[in-house]
Chains A and B, each alone.
Chain A
Amino acid sequence: MHIPENYLSPVSCAVMGAAMIPVWVHAVKKTDRELPKEKLPLLGAGAAFSFLAMMFNVPLVGGTTGHAVGGTLIALLFGPNAACLAVSVALLLQAVIFGDGGVLAFGANCFNMAFVLPYVGYGVYRLLLGKQNGRTSDARPYGASLGTSDARPYEGGTGGIRPYVAAFIGSYVGLNLAALCCAVEFGIQPMLFKDAAGNALYCPYDLGVAIPAMMIPHLAVAGFVEAVFTVAVFALVRKTAPDLSYERMLADAPEAGKKKKYIPVFALIAVLIAACPLGLLATGTAWGEWGADEIAEIVTDGKALGYTPSGLESGWSLDVPMPDYALEGMNETLAYILSAVIGVALLIIIFKLISIPMKGRRNPS
């Protein structure tokens, strides 16, 4: 799912990168509060694990293998915020050292794999587990450290198969939503960025092709790889070290606690994520329908104005209400940038709103 360089337009990359900034800020702040003091080395360890997990070949049917991302798994163990940072660091190293995923596309890759995947995966897991688990993990004191946890070898955390089912579904949904975001990012490229002849400048496949092309393999195979992978590792860790989980860390952190309030947060984030590609999609089609090919061409590159007039002379000005193409082009670029700013602002506002009730609750206790 790593988006390589130049599949997305630089503008898209910039927008996705900008969208990640408030996410990272939020994640850093939350991690600071939730995780035990050894948070930084833990982030390094989580990032290293994430990096290695992405290189790990998971067996599939018939001797073939696939890769998992492991975003949900890390969220289950270290929390979605730490997972976001850990996966981001891992993606950065992959992009810079191994050329796996573009350097400019880093923001987009982070959005899909470090933001959508862990938060959705963890959110679904929490929702499915409901209150039952919250109570049990509250009831058990954190005190037991890794060393003493083998006193109860097989009853890691909440008993039963339920956490595993939740983890399975959570990671499956998380991965597929991330893949959907990726497909949408690909799919809007040919709608927004074309040359004078209407040919795509970046990824050539529109939504109609990109979504099925991405989603069919992910729904059918990759999602299950991710899910089985998540459950397999999660199971061993829960059996071996039941204390190593996000819930336990929250219970341990003096100010965090009260997991229930996280559920609305994740519901909100899920809505946000669902809305986000829809919004992009809506604007995409609007531009695609309304703006002629040339407009998109101008949007793509301000400099292009210099060498395209030949394309514009061919009867194009007759159909378009505003003959001043330069102004038109500027408007489109401006509109794109403005909507990006609005999107970022919205994200910041939502995260700020989310943090209000938490602060309120924390102060009295």
Chain B
Amino acid sequence: MPLIELERICFSYTPEDAPVLRDFSLSVEAGECVALRGDNGAGKTTLFRILNGLSFPQEGVYRFDGEAVTPALLKNQRRAKLFHKRIGYLFQNPDVMLFNASVREEIAFGPRQMGLPEAEIAARTADCLALFGLEPLADKAPYHLSGGQKKQVALAAVLSLNPEVLILDEPLAGLDARTRGRLLPLLAELRQAGKTLLVATHDEGLVEALDARTVRVGGMHNA
């Protein structure tokens, strides 16, 4: 049974507008890696919003782990929280993800939510800081970091929740060569560790490094 299954999804923001996604189907097995390609405005971010239960398609079904994701399902708080715990989402714009007073608190937010003991929260946070070499920035305000640093902090904050599925919207866009050089093997390693990855990217190198199956979104290629 696929972990993620989209069946003939249609979505438009308002009834008057043309649909962003039309009859879109996708099936992803656990541990698989899918690269979503498509022009700007093709609906990749919309698709990600649907996958995260932030928007719901007007037609078609989205099943996660065999269960249809509907507004009714996510009304149940516990189900919704478990769902969000299992899926991690890196927004395209990391600015909207960072609202804590320091990088350390930002990363600790997820584990703290899960009610882990303080020692484990600290350990997880330290691990995630080390993973990105963010230790020198730990006590800085995320607000003041550079774009690339913000992206890494946002990804670290998602990883600290240890989700099974990672949905990454343009994870490497706008990063310098050195940061990219650090993230590329890290993502590959996450894939090897059995995480399910869905990545929207224009980066050929990333698709190759992840050995990802490519799926086209939007426009004429919608089928």
Interface residues of A (CB under 8 A from B): 146-147, 149-150, 153-154, 235-236, 239-241
Contacts and interface: CB of A to CB of B under 8 A. Distances in A.
Interface of B: 101-102, 139-141, 143-144
19 contacts: A147-B144, A149-B144, A150-B140, A150-B141, A150-B144, A153-B139, A153-B140, A153-B141, A154-B139, A235-B101, A236-B101, A239-B101, A240-B101, A240-B141, A240-B143, A240-B144, A241-B141, A241-B143, A241-B144
A108 to B, nearest CB: 35
Contacts of B139: 153-154
Nearest to A235: B101
A151 to B, nearest CB: 9
A239 B139 CA distance: 10
Q: What 8 pairs across the A-B complex have the smallest Cβ distances?
A: A240-B141, A150-B144, A239-B101, A150-B140, A153-B139, A240-B143, A236-B101, A153-B140
B135 to A, nearest CB: 14
Contacts of A153: 102, 139-141
Contacts, number: 24
Residue with the highest number of chain B CB atoms closer than 10 Å, among A146, A147, A154, A235: A154
B76 to A, nearest CB: 15
A239 B140 CA distance: 9
Contacts of A240: 101, 141, 143-144
Contacts of A235: 101
Residue with the highest number of chain A CB atoms closer than 10 Å, among B139, B140, B141, B143: B141
Contacts of A236: 101
A241 B143 CA distance: 9
A241 B102 CA distance: 12
Contacts of B140: 150, 153
B144 A239 contact: no
B57 to A, nearest CB: 28
A235 B102 CA distance: 12
A157 to B, nearest CB: 14
Contacts of A241: 141, 143-144
A153 B102 CA distance: 8
A235 B141 CA distance: 12
B129 to A, nearest CB: 15
Nearest to B144: A150
Nearest to B143: A240
Residue with the highest number of chain A CB atoms closer than 10 Å, among B102, B139, B144: B144
Contacts of B143: 240-241
A241 B140 CA distance: 11
Contacts of B144: 146-147, 149-150, 240-241
A233 to B, nearest CB: 11
A155 B144 CA distance: 16
Contacts of B101: 235-236, 239-240
Contacts of B102: 153-154, 239
A156 to B, nearest CB: 10
A146 B145 CA distance: 11
A36 B139 CA distance: 30
Residue with the highest number of chain B CB atoms closer than 10 Å, among A146, A150, A154: A150
Contacts of A150: 140-141, 144
A149 B101 CA distance: 13
Contacts of A154: 102, 139
Nearest to B137: A150
A2 to B, nearest CB: 28
A313 B94 CA distance: 77
Given A147-B144, A150-B144, A153-B102, 8 more contacts: A146-B144, A154-B102, A239-B102, A239-B141, A240-B101, A240-B143, A240-B144, A241-B144
Contacts of A146: 144
A240 B144 CA distance: 8
Nearest to A146: B144
A163 B14 CA distance: 48
A149 B139 CA distance: 13
A294 to B, nearest CB: 58
A240 B102 CA distance: 8
B165 to A, nearest CB: 29
Contacts of A239: 101-102, 141
A239 B106 CA distance: 14
A154 B138 CA distance: 12
B216 to A, nearest CB: 39
A54 to B, nearest CB: 19
A239 B144 CA distance: 11
B172 to A, nearest CB: 25
A150 B136 CA distance: 12
Nearest to B102: A153
A147 B140 CA distance: 12
A11 B34 CA distance: 69
A138 B141 CA distance: 25
A235 B100 CA distance: 11
